[in-house]
Amino acid sequence: MSGLFSTLNVGVRGMTAQQGAIDVTSHNIANANTDGYSRQRVTMETTRPSNTSPGQLGTGVQISSISRIRDTYLDYQVRAENGTMGLNEGKENVLSQVETVFNGLSDTGVSTLIDKVYASWQTLSTSPQLSNTRTVVAQQSKALTDQLNSIYKQLKTVKDDCKAVIKQDVVDINSMLSQIDKLNQQIKAVKIGGDEPNDLLDKRDLLEDKLSTKFGITIDKKTYGGEDLKATDGATGDLTLVKSDSTDDVKRFSYVSSITPSKDSTGAVMTDGTYDVTYYKNGDMSSDNNKVTMTMKLSESAYASLDQGRVLVADKDGYAVDKDGARIDGKEFIGGDIIGTVIPAGATGTKNVDGTAYQLFNPTTGELKGYMSVQEDIDTYVNQLNNLAKSIAFSVNAIHSGSSTASDDTATNVLNFFVNSAKPTAAGEAEITAGNITVNSLIVNDPMLIKVGTGNSPGPTDGTRAAAIAKLKDVKLKIQGITPTSTRSDFLSGVSAEGDSSKLLTISSAADGMTISSYFTTIVNGLAIKVQDARQNVTNHTVQLSKLEESRTSISGVSLDEEMANLIQYQHAYAANAKIISTVDELLDLIVNGLKK
């Protein structure tokens, strides 16, 4: 009797094990298209045998574990490639927009407009007596300045778009880190209970894959399935973002929304490099309760880095921390007097810090790095465009006014052709940029004010001044040496012959100079090379990442053909075990009912 009941138990265990295997197989099939899912496999082992004569007798089978199939080395490779891919995609996306903004050498591009402007001056020099030739000069010049204004504005818009992507990345990153931290604790709890949290592990791995596209990460495995997650910071080393042991001693990120010059007690803008830097804790701009303003002094390089980076290392509550990891609370100020009101840590409002106290996140790879670094390229193109605008204004104004220095002296009939739209005076000429350059409104309204000839009373057919301006097309100017503070006299130093409004001032070529057209062509060609390199990098890394993903999928992905084959195998085994139970039932019925006869 005991033998038949033992056989019955073996059949039950067999059915239970095969049922578990069918459940796992059906789970795999159901998640065949689930992003981040790793196929699971049932491991079976024999149960403890019973001791009988002449030896041990097997008691059946049981499921010892349900494990997921995963290659950690491929995970590492995919995440490293994700970071590189994110970096190159970010660069390629932005540089392609910049290339579109410049509009290359098309019919409506700057290069074509520059040629048209000088051509109109040449036509004016040969027909100075015609009023329409003066009108064409004014209109073509205005079209050029409008195009420069437009490009400048669009480049600023592209840069603002980069900042918007960075802001959203900060919010997404902090959210993913919180989810990973929570999953860490859930996984440990399941592991400590002796079970395998396969689906939780998949969720954590998927989040880590997504996070690796934002910046480079390193993962340290800990006991009971826990992980420490760190971000590689190019300036300070690794930043611990998640710890296996739940703790508040981890870092998060906050977003700098604005950097504006501070104002003194009278409301005047301060010019000593003092700025009000406003950031939002954890990048959450949905409430002003998350808003914190720090008043600090920044050098030009520190301002550029903060403007392009925008991501501050913060504590778990989102408050910015210094390089030692301490929360910036305004109680300590390194160098100089404390600016503004000191408030305690944890409070909202104004915080006072030295320009070197905060910790700016500097990822070495990933989407964040791509959008941060490409802003430096945008700033470079803006500066080059500003140099172009200044060189056009300085050179044309010098010949048109007959002076190598800017002047508003109407007594000598000085008239600048190009002006700063925000400050249309001689003092504003040094602040001309591609964003504010325009044709003098007096000339736009009355093209007859354009100076065409020379002498106190130029003749009706005297086009010598217009011809001199037309020749600027082929003059090599020191455009690359222009700085934001350069004046007309700085620009023309060593390449001009002084004159006055009634005489002709000529500009000679500089040995190390460039023509206006060639300078812009150099900008466009350099941009084209950068875009081509970025696109090629994206193509190459797309292929590499695709191969790695294919390798990982071949190991961790669900094969429906394989799962269907397993399902048939488990089905047959289940049916066979059921047959054993049915046979034992018949035998028991024979023994029990047979005794009655």
- Sign of the torsion formed by the C-alpha atoms of 247, 250, 254 and 259: positive
* φ, ψ (nearest 5 deg) of residue 39: -60, 145
Instruction: Quote the CA–CA distance of 2 and 87 in Å, as a whole number.
Output: 70
Q: How many residues in total does the chain contain?
A: 597
**Higher confidence at residue 549 or residue 109?**
549
Our CA dihedral for 416, 421, 427, 432, rounded to 10 degrees, sits at -90
Domain count, the chain: 2
Question: What tokens does 315 get?
Answer: 């504590």
Residue 300 CB coordination number (10 Å): 9
- Domain's final residue, options 330, 362, 394: 362
- Domain's final residue, options 337, 362, 387: 362
Question: What tokens does 555 get?
Answer: 């190991």
Judge whether 174 and 250 are in contact, CB under 8 Å: no
- Please name the residues in contact with 195: beta carbons below 8 A apart, sequence gap of 6 or more: none
Angle at the Cα of 26 (from 21 to 28), degrees rounded to 5?
95
pLDDT tens for 63-114 read 999 999 999 999 999 999 999 999 999 999 999 999 999 876 666 689 999 9
According to the model, what pLDDT value does residue 354 have? 53
What value does the mean pLDDT take over residues 219-229?
93
pLDDT tens for 417-429 read 999 999 988 889 9
According to the model, what pLDDT value does residue 336 have? 33
Residue 350 has pLDDT above 60, yes or no: no
Based on the number of CB atoms within 10 Å of its own CB, is 337 exposed (0-12), middle (13-18) or buried (19 or more)? exposed
pLDDT tens for 2-55 read 588 888 999 999 999 999 999 999 999 999 999 999 999 999 999 988 877 677
**Higher confidence at residue 595 or residue 549?**
549
Q: Is 514 in a helix, a strand, or coil?
A: strand
Q: Name residue 65's beta-bridge partners.
A: 43
Based on the number of CB atoms within 10 Å of its own CB, is 283 exposed (0-12), middle (13-18) or buried (19 or more)? buried
Q: Is 337 in a helix, a strand, or coil?
A: coil
- Please name the residues in contact with 355: beta carbons below 8 A apart, sequence gap of 6 or more: 273, 296, 297, 298, 299, 302
Instruction: Quote the CA–CA distance of 186 and 225 in Å, as a whole number.
Output: 10
Alpha carbon 261 to chain centroid, angstroms:
25
Which domain does 587 fall in, by range?
A: 2-69+559-594
According to the model, what pLDDT value does residue 597 have? 56
- pLDDT band of residue 331 (cuts 50, 70, 90) is very low
- Please name the residues in contact with 327: beta carbons below 8 A apart, sequence gap of 6 or more: 315, 319, 320, 321, 345, 346
According to the model, what pLDDT value does residue 495 have? 61
Judge whether 71 and 556 are in contact, CB under 8 Å: yes
> How crowded is the C-beta side of 414, counted as CA atoms within 13 Å?
19
- Domain's final residue, options 362, 382, 417: 362
Residue 380 belongs to a domain: no
Q: Name residue 358's beta-bridge partners.
A: 322
- pLDDT band of residue 329 (cuts 50, 70, 90) is low
Helices (H), 500-515: none
- Please name the residues in contact with 56: beta carbons below 8 A apart, sequence gap of 6 or more: 49, 50
Residue 14 belongs to a domain: yes
Instruction: Quote the CA–CA distance of 85 and 91 in Å, as a whole number.
Output: 10
> How crowded is the C-beta side of 125, counted as CA atoms within 13 Å?
16
Residue 487 belongs to a domain: no
Query: Which amino acid appears at position 552 of this protein?
Result: R
Judge whether 555 and 41 are in contact, CB under 8 Å: no
Question: What tokens does 584 get?
Answer: 């034992």
Residue 188 has pLDDT above 90, yes or no: yes
Residue 520 belongs to a domain: no
pLDDT tens for 455-495 read 666 667 789 999 999 999 999 999 988 998 899 988 887 66
pLDDT tens for 198-211 read 999 999 999 999 99
According to the model, what pLDDT value does residue 295 have? 83
The enclosing H or E element of 563 equals helix 560-594
Residue 470 belongs to a domain: no
Query: From start to end of 267-387, where are the E strands?
Result: 274-280, 291-297, 311-314, 349-352
User: Which of 320-334, 485-499, 529-543 comes out lowest in average pLDDT?
Assistant: 320-334
Q: Name residue 260's beta-bridge partners.
A: 276
Judge whether 110 and 391 are in contact, CB under 8 Å: no
Query: Which amino acid appears at position 114 of this protein?
Result: I
Instruction: Quote the CA–CA distance of 91 and 534 in Å, as a whole number.
Output: 7
User: What percentage of residues in the chain have a pLDDT greater than 90?
Assistant: 65
Alpha carbon 65 to chain centroid, angstroms:
43
Residue 414 belongs to a domain: no
According to the model, what pLDDT value does residue 466 have? 93
Residue 167 CB coordination number (10 Å): 18
Is the N-terminal amide bond of 128 cis, ω within 30° of 0? no
According to the model, what pLDDT value does residue 325 have? 77
- Mean pLDDT over the full length of the chain: 88
The enclosing H or E element of 154 equals helix 131-192
Are β-strands 50-51 and 56-57 bridged in parallel, bridged antiparallel, or unpaired?
antiparallel
pLDDT tens for 257-310 read 999 998 888 888 888 888 888 999 999 998 888 888 888 888 888 899 999 999
Residue 306 CB coordination number (10 Å): 20
Residue 170 has pLDDT above 60, yes or no: yes
Question: What tokens does 61 get?
Answer: 């089978």
Judge whether 352 and 339 are in contact, CB under 8 Å: yes
Residue 285 belongs to a domain: yes
What value does the mean pLDDT take over residues 156-173?
96
Residue 430 belongs to a domain: no
Question: What tokens does 261 get?
Answer: 């010059």
According to the model, what pLDDT value does residue 335 have? 33
